[in-house]
């Protein structure tokens, strides 16, 4: 459980929350507790819940307290991946329960509901949650969850979290917000009424493209207990080494995010003026349909940009093959810039008609703008599109 009394500023909590000098040596860094079990004094007598490492590990405990603090949550749970965290939430549902899912989400998140949980009787309606009337009409008496990503992947739709939490609660459901694209530096959905926040820690929280991880944060004690029970029963826990790497990463989250935001704004403005670009989608541009909402809901606009290049697949493929500093790869949120083709790569599991309706077409390219010198990034894109 995090210390809800901590009023330290975000950057201080990034570095210190959940972390005390090691009690045996005063080592400043939380040790990597590579242990699968703990010695008991007498059968059933052990310290502070430490009986077996699937249930609890001190490196993981420190990470969970750190992430909880960054999201302003009372409870944090960390997982082996973002999708493992999502599955833990979906395991709370029973056959016949209904989920309203925002229409634009990571392909793997859609696939988990559509290809795994649907077979267990969970029903799902995809809806454009930027349209509140559409969101309302997607509700059913059996709706238990509204699930959204904001900004969304890859169309960067910005959804009104406070409005969706009112809608969910009015329908007797809970709101889960995937905060991966914003990171806790830019947005705290729990403060806006969400019940659970999910992170793929693989992205900005990890920040160095060297860890796969996930997290759930909540201030609901009963929900936290159920999620913890499920995690222990199912078992998708992160390794102590991965927890250590994530703890090291969150120490610089605020500094990295600031530069991601600055660089992305500059790249988005530059792309907007490029003759071979049909459309730039970035919440920080005034042309973004939810720019005003992004300004009020977020503390900055993030490092992700989607762009439609003129000339369809030939043009996008040419650009993706010619970049040098932007690496052609799935994933996002690392210090290094990445670029990818959602229709072929990250969103291939979304049915083609749904992709077309969203605008995920052959000309759409997604950029994760890193923290390199932005002049080199712009030069790279300029060369790739020349």
Q: Is 48 a catalytic residue?
A: no
Among 57, 59, 130, 180, binds ligand P1T (CB under 6 A): 180
Indicate whether 202 belongs to the interface with ligand P1T (CB under 6 A): yes
Query: Whole-number minimum distance, CB 60 to ligand P1T, in Å?
Result: 16
Among 14, 70, 83, 164, binds ligand P1T (CB under 6 A): 83
- Kindly report the CA angle at 226 between 297 and 201, in degrees rounded to 5? 45
Q: Which two tokens stand for residue 219?
A: 């201030």
Stretch that binds ligand P1T, among 57-65, 280-288, 330-338, 373-381 (CB under 6 A): 330-338
**274 in the Ramachandran plot: left (φ > 0), alpha (ψ -120 to 50) or beta?**
beta
| 206 close to 249: Cβ distance less than 8 angstroms | yes
Q: Is 203 a catalytic residue?
A: yes
For residue 66, the Cα-to-chain-centroid distance in whole angstroms is: 16
Query: Whole-number minimum distance, CB 61 to ligand P1T, in Å?
Result: 21
Indicate whether 18 belongs to the interface with ligand P1T (CB under 6 A): no
* Beta strands in 80-213, from DSSP E residues, in sequence order: 98-102, 123-127, 143-149, 174-178, 196-200
Nearer to ligand P1T (CB atom), residue 236 or residue 357: 236
Q: Which two tokens stand for residue 59?
A: 């490196």
Among 2, 30, 81, 150, binds ligand P1T (CB under 6 A): 81
| 260 close to 369: Cβ distance less than 8 angstroms | yes
Among 125, 134, 142, 331, binds ligand P1T (CB under 6 A): 331
Query: Whole-number minimum distance, CB 206 to ligand P1T, in Å?
Result: 9
Collapsed DSSP state (helix, strand, coil) of residue 149: strand
Q: Which residue has the tokens 């004094």?
A: 41
Nearer to ligand P1T (CB atom), residue 82 or residue 370: 82
Q: Which two tokens stand for residue 331?
A: 């994933």
Nearer to ligand P1T (CB atom), residue 109 or residue 230: 109
Question: Residue 3 belongs to what H/E stretch?
Answer: none
Stretch that binds ligand P1T, among 76-84, 238-246, 259-267, 312-320 (CB under 6 A): 76-84
Question: DSSP for 235-294?
Answer: --PPPHHHHHHHHHHHTTHHHHHHHHHHHHHHHHHHHHT-TTEEEEE-TTSTTSTTHHHH
From the candidates 33, 38, 50, 106, which is the catalytic residue?
106
From the candidates 13, 203, 256, 366, which is the catalytic residue?
203
From the candidates 54, 140, 251, 259, which is the catalytic residue?
54
Query: Whole-number minimum distance, CB 223 to ligand P1T, in Å?
Result: 19
Catalytic residue numbers, as ranges: 54, 106, 178, 203
What residues make contact with ligand P1T under the rule CB under 6 A?
81-83, 106, 108-109, 149, 153, 178, 180-181, 200, 202, 212, 214, 330-332, 346
């Amino acid at each position: 459980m995090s210390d809800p009394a901590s009023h330290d500023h975000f950057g201080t909590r990034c570095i210190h929350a959940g972390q005390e000098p090691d009690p045996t040596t005063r080592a400043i860094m939380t040790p990597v507790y590579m242990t699968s079990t703990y010695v008991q004094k007498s059968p059933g007598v052990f310290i502070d819940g430490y009986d077996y490492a699937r249930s609890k590990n001190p490196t993981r405990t420190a990470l969970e307290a750190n992430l909880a603090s960054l999201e302003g949550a009372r409870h944090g749970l960390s997982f082996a991946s973002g999708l493992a965290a999502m599955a833990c939430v979906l395991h709370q549902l029973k056959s016949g329960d209904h989920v309203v899912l925002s229409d634009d989400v990571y392909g793997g998140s859609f696939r988990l509901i559509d290809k795994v949980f649907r077979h267990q009787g969970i029903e799902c309606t995809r809806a454009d949650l930027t349209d509140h009337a559409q969101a309302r009409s997607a509700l059913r008496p059996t709706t238990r969850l509204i699930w959204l990503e904001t900004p969304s992947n890859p169309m960067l739709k910005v959804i009104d979290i406070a409005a969706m939490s009112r809608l969910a609660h009015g329908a007797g459901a809970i709101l889960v917000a995937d905060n991966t694209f914003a990171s806790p530096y830019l947005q705290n959905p729990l403060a806006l009424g969400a019940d659970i926040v999910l992170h793929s820690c693989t992205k900005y929280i990890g920040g160095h493209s060297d860890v796969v991880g996930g997290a759930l944060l909540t201030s609901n004690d009963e929900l936290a207990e159920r999620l913890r029970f499920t995690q222990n029963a199912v078992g998708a826990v992160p390794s102590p080494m991965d927890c250590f790497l994530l703890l090291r990463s969150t120490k610089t989250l605020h500094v990295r995010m600031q530069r991601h935001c600055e660089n992305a704004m500059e790249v988005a403005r530059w792309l907007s003026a490029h003759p071979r670009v049909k459309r730039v989608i970035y919440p920080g541009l005034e042309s973004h349909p939810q720019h005003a909402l992004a300004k009020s809901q977020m503390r900055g606009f993030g490092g992700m940009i989607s762009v439609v290049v003129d000339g369809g697949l030939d043009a996008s493929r040419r650009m993706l093959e010619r970049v040098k500093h932007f690496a052609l790869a799935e994933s996002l949120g690392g210090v290094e810039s990445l670029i990818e083709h959602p229709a072929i790569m990250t969103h291939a599991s979304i049915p083609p008609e749904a992709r077309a309706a969203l605008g995920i077409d052959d000309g759409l390219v997604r950029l994760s703008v890193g923290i390199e010198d932005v002049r080199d990034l712009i030069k790279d894109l300029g060369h790739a599109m020349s």
